[in-house]
Amino acid sequence: MDCRRTANAGVLIKLDGTTILLDGVSRPTAHYVGTPDAEKENLYTCPPDIIAFTHGHMDHFDRSFAQMMYHKTLRSILGPEGLLKVGSLCQPVQAGTVTITPIPSRHIGKAGQGVAHVSYLIEGSQTILFTGDAAPQQFRERQVDVLIAPYAYATTPSSWKLSSGIAKTLILLHLPPRDNDPAGLWDAVAQTTQAPGPKLIIPEIGEHIVL
């Protein structure tokens, strides 16, 4: 699996020759960076085989980009029901030998109650769980090769232990810049992950990982 971080909480992965963009274009917010214009242009010029978003929050989703890509490729955008008025789909999709399956899931925190949200299981020569902003406890029975998840999976001892039970490798996303971190998330991750757990990777935007 090749993986490149392209957004605040999103990646472009290549598995068995299939490219999948997961929450891979986002807009900037007060504390989280958006997708650079050059990255958007690369994705538009060479569209992924599958484009999927977990939910409609702007730090995970760029509606104008999704609509533009749908009209360019005429391939449905995966996401919760009604993510786009036209062109969104919420059912398993296969490309080559890879299958991506939406998993209805609960957005973490009180602020996320009622938000339409799906996570994704990607199955090929490796299995990957991409959680979006889903609460960790929902996946305690899952076992995959790679877990791609937000900081909440590594900021408390219980979530870190849970992540360890899900996968041997955790790609952690959704952290703010170190110099704009009023909640102290970087420090919480550093303290929590001193305990034994999965292999931890925290990529910068544009960073390329091979697993």
pLDDT at 170: 98
Measured in whole angstroms, the distance separating CA 135 from the mean position of its chain's CA atoms is 13
- pLDDT of 187 reads 97
| pLDDT under 70: residue ranges of the chain | none
The burial of 47, by beta-carbon neighbours within 10 Å (0-12 exposed, 13-18 middle, 19 or more buried), is given as middle
pLDDT, mean over the chain: 96
Structure tokens at 152: 């909440």
Report the b/e string of 175-208 with b at 16+ CB within 10 A: bbeeeeeeeebbebbeebbeeebbebbbeebeee
Q: What is the pTM of this model?
A: 0.97
pLDDT for residue 113:
82
CATH class of 2-210: alpha beta
